[in-house]
Amino acid sequence: MSLFWLVVLPILTALIGYLSNYKKIQRLIWVSQISTFIMAIFFFIKVITEGTIIETLGNYSGAISINLVADAISSLFVVLTTFLFTIMLLFNYHKTYMNKLFLFLFLTLQGLIVAIFLSNDLFDIYTLVEVATVVVSILILFKKDSQSLYDGMVYLLTNLVAMAFFLFGLGYVYKIFGTMDLSVIKAGVPFRTQISHHASF
């Protein structure tokens, strides 16, 4: 069992559900959602008992590859995210707006949020937040009335401005540390602090 399934499974299910007949795919969606929640609990227990889990995509070194890291905090947030999305899915089950497009956006958003919590690279987090912003904006606009249109556009524009500052911050972090990997940055912070302290004298 891999951490990547916590991200991929909701998105893959969303894609299959969108391309298939929604009425015939409901069971698959529920099985997928419950399986994701159970996996989240499994990894949380594993982290508590065995320690931090680190998984790397591909045969690359940790600093340049896509890494997922589950520690006590991130795994707890993943459990909370999958639980809340399961409850919201149950709440929206008989709603009129619960169609294939809504489910596609809803489950994709879950996968993106889980990926944000597990990601170990600042640029990956930036990219995921940008995509999640677009998905949330579309969900706000889903009601298709004037208030929803206004709220969705304000949310999108506000987040675009905020993420522009985030991107500038990423550039500054990369200039200092030469990497976006959070583990490498964490290891380099005491060294940089020590250099700055000596330079002040």
pLDDT of 113: 92
**Residue with the larger pLDDT of the pair 23 and 113:** 113
3-state helix, strand, coil in the chain (%, to 5): 80, 5, 15
Give the pLDDT band (50/70/90) at residue 58.
low
Q: What is the pLDDT of residues 178-192, one digit of tens each?
A: 777 777 777 766 655
Q: What is the pLDDT of residues 111-124, one digit of tens each?
A: 999 999 988 888 88
Question: What gap in Å lies between CA 185 and CA 173, rounded to an integer?
Answer: 9
Enumerate the domain spans of the chain.
1-120, 121-201
**Residue with the larger pLDDT of the pair 79 and 66:** 79
Residue whose C-alpha is closest to residue 46's, from 54, 35, 58, 56 = 54
Q: How distant, in Å, are the alpha carbons of 44, 144, 154, 199 from that of 137?
A: 30, 12, 9, 46
